[in-house]
Amino acid sequence: MIPTWIIVIDYILGMIMWTLIGRAAMNIFQREDSTFFFMRVFVKYTNPIIKLFKPITPSFLFGGFIALYVAWFFYLFRFYAMPYLLGYDVWGMLAFPLESDFSKQLYQLFN
């Protein structure tokens, strides 16, 4: 059984990661300074995280690639550091609690 605090941390990191990916996807269709409500929300909530990673972000990245680059760090932490800190080997893709719960709900919905 995974401790509750690990699940909470993973959910928070997972939501940050997927929000950054959502921002990158929205950036394909919308500019970052768009007045579209969802784009403004993505930019508002991810800008502080992107600014935090600015010192290690390569200067040649632009637009949505910056958000993907930062999301990659959250993915790496969730995939490698979390299991290592808990004493596991690598869990596997659907062993992330957030994605695992989401896929279980989808399976129940369509079966």
What's the domain count of the chain? 1
Give the pLDDT score at 20. Answer: 95
Cα dihedral sign, 57-58-63-68: negative
Q: What single DSSP character describes residue 25?
A: H
Full pLDDT tens readout for the chain, 111 residues: 667 888 888 889 999 999 999 999 999 999 888 999 989 998 999 999 999 999 999 999 988 899 999 999 999 888 877 777 766 655 555 467 777 788 888 889 998
Question: Domain of 91?
Answer: 4-110
Decide: 82 and 55 in contact? Cβ < 8 Å.
no
Query: What b/e sequence results for 33-61 when a residue is b if at least 16 CB atoms lie within 10 Å of its CB, and e otherwise?
Result: eeeeeebeebbeebeebbeebeeebeeee
Give the pLDDT score at 93. Answer: 52
Please tell me the pTM assigned to this model.
0.80
